[in-house]
Amino acid sequence: MNKHFLALHDFSKKELDGLFELALELKKKQKNAEKHRMLKGKTLAMIFEKSSTRTRVSFEVGIYQLGGHGLFISSGTSQMGRGEPLKDTARTLSRYCDGIMVRTYGQDIVEELARFATVPVINGLTDLFHPCQIMADLLTVIEHKGSYQGLKFSWVGDGNNMANTWIEAAAIFGFDLTLACPEGYQPDPKVLAWAQANGTSAIVLTDDPKKAVQDADVLNTDVWASMGQEEEQKAREKAFAGYQLNSEILKLAKPDCIVMHCLPAHRDEEITDEVIEGPNSVVWDEAENRLHIQKAIMATLMA
């Protein structure tokens, strides 16, 4: 197993399937109030350069349930915000802590931290990837559908960090994925090229949301403007008009499809209130599963 959790492409299907198994086991233990203190006395530093509700709370609660302690570090109130080099932060935190979780902008930032840290580094979202989220999403698919195998996945909206990570997941796990993104907002071409070179699944890119959701089992979307793109909101509202998960588009998918959103959602932009609150939505299970999969990731990397 790779020492760090920076991107899904660093892992084999077998390793990632092992994380789902462990997450389900830990979830059961937690529900039965059985002890599972696999990280007793260990500390996770959690660096945030962007806002968070789910990531912060699920990591902090997760390490606590494993018998350890989570330490919230906002980049703005630490020396990182005053320009202390990442490599110095990585080496300093490694002397106090047993793992580092980081939410930031460039993927190069998490890579630089990992290069100099002597403890595992976990990617809690970058502009390029959100691997913990897609692992939680797939755990949710497994729970609702029994398996991700043979299902048709679809993405409607921005070709952002979530879309890029779904592309990697499709290649690694071998499921078919169709993404509908407007021109100019397509996924990262390098990620797509990697997936096409390393996987056998059909990964189709279109600008037609109807085509993407046709007979789909799993429907996904995300905000039109991600963190750091707030100033583009107005332009993006124009570009993404029509790229919405609503009851009309849902009719084209399988009747028992599940609807996912990593949250936070902008109701009546990328998804209607009716759909996110409707019977096909599994967004709260998805949010809960962040806790369980991240406990499995931490227990595997930090024990």
Residues in contact with ligand CP by the rule CB under 6 A: 52-55, 125, 133, 262-264
**Residue 53, binding choice from ligand NVA, ligand CP, none, Cβ under 5 to 8 Å by partner class:** ligand CP
Is the torsion defined by CA of 22, 24, 25, 30 positive or negative? positive
User: Residue 160 Cβ, how far from ligand NVA at the closest point, in Å?
Assistant: 5
> What is the total residue count of the chain?
303
> Cα–Cα distance between 65 and 77 in angstroms, integer?
27
Q: Find the catalytic residue in 222, 236, 244, 292.
A: 222
Under the binding rule (CB under 6 A), the answer on residue 252 touching ligand NVA is no
- Contacting ligand NVA within 76-135 (CB under 6 A): 125
User: Residue 287 Cβ, how far from ligand CP at the closest point, in Å?
Assistant: 7
**Residue 162, binding choice from ligand CP, ligand NVA, none, Cβ under 5 to 8 Å by partner class:** ligand NVA
> Cα–Cα distance between 11 and 59 in angstroms, integer?
21
Q: Tokens 């100019």 label which residue?
A: 184
8 Å CB contact between 266 and 224: yes
8 Å CB contact between 29 and 36: yes
Told to judge if 107 belongs to the known catalytic residues of this protein, a careful annotator would answer no
Q: Find the catalytic residue in 132, 181, 257, 262.
A: 262
**Residue 1, binding choice from ligand CP, ligand NVA, none, Cβ under 5 to 8 Å by partner class:** none
- Give SS3 for 220: strand
- Tell me, rounded to whole angstroms, the distance of Cα 18 from its chain centroid: 17
Q: Find the catalytic residue in 133, 244, 261, 294.
A: 133
Which residues 6+ apart lie within 8 Å of 301 measured at CB? Answer: 1, 3, 4, 5, 99, 120, 122
CB closer to ligand NVA, 53 vs 118: 53
CB closer to ligand CP, 16 vs 136: 136
The residues annotated with a catalytic role in the active site are 103, 130, 133, 222, 262, 290
Residues forming the site for ligand NVA (CB under 6 A): 125, 160-162, 222-223, 226-227, 262
